[in-house]
Amino acid sequence: MFEIHNNMIDDRIDEIGENHVGTSAKTPLRADAFDISDEEKIAKIQDSVKDILETLGMDLTDDSLKGTPKRVAKAFVNEMFMGLNPKNKPSASTFDNNYKYGEMLVEKNIIVYSTCEHHLLPIVGRAHVAYISNGKVIGLSKMNRIVEYFSKRPQVQERLTMQVVQAMQEALGTDDVACVIDAKHLCVNSRGIKDIESSTVTAEFGGKFKNKETKREFLDYIKLNTTFD
Ligand SMILES: [Zn+2]
């Protein structure tokens, strides 16, 4: 009985991963995630990567492979997954909207390089972020930084989209924020069904962006001169 139950849970976990279903809007981090330093993490991951490559039969005395475990470990901690650590969160400085610009502001084609948390393979695409100011404005490069920060985690595209919107809402003190992400998942494009052309679109519309016309206006803006190749 226990075994059957266990198999069912395993199947369910496999199904969640293969279908890229996220289980929560928050990145599933443990409470002790930052109890050890980045340097300690790099050392541990280096050993693990060495183990993986050796298990695969690679000769790590070869000059070409010698430095790989350390390189991978540093890339994981300092680059690909640096957005897990709150110390890397971009400061959300805002400015007063002095010229009383009351229309929608759209930042298009923000490059997204993320990592699918189910296969640890790249998600590559573009994010389009919009907000309507209620008195505060945010620097344009800040919007890119926010997208980058949440991209640099093991991710699910839906969660990334929501996290960008939530961070912008908090920074600007308004619900009127929207984000659309169009991205290719290399786990889909290179494995299994090998569908090279397909991409995944996710969208989160907050506050006024739930209104049909406002949503339409945003979607019309991002259609202009936007290519996804
Ligand atoms: Zn995947």
CATH topology assigned to domain 2-17+91-222: GTP Cyclohydrolase I, domain 2 (3.30.1130)
In sequence order, the 6+-apart residues with CB closer than 8 A to the CB of 63 are none
Contact 204, 130 (CB under 8 A): no
Please state the length of the chain.
Answer: 229
**pTM of the prediction?**
0.85
- Find the 19 Cα to ligand 1 centroid distance in Å: 8
**Residue 94, pLDDT score:** 85
CATH topology assigned to domain 38-84: GTP Cyclohydrolase I; Chain A, domain 1 (1.10.286)
Q: What is the pLDDT of residues 135-162, one digit of tens each?
A: 999 988 999 999 999 999 999 999 999 9
Contact 125, 143 (CB under 8 A): no
Active site residue 20: no
Q: What is the pLDDT of residues 5-43, one digit of tens each?
A: 444 555 555 665 666 666 667 999 999 999 999 999 999
User: At 89, phi and psi to the nearest 5?
Assistant: -65, 130
Token reading at 196: 């090279």
**What is the torsional sign of CA 76, 111, 187, 163?**
positive
**179 marked as binding residue:** no
The angle formed by the CA atoms of residues 94, 100 and 106, to the nearest 5 degrees, is: 65
**Residue 98, pLDDT score:** 76
Domain residue extents for the chain: 2-17+91-222, 38-84
Do 2-17+91-222 and 38-84 show the same overall fold? no
- Find the 88 Cα to ligand 1 centroid distance in Å: 25
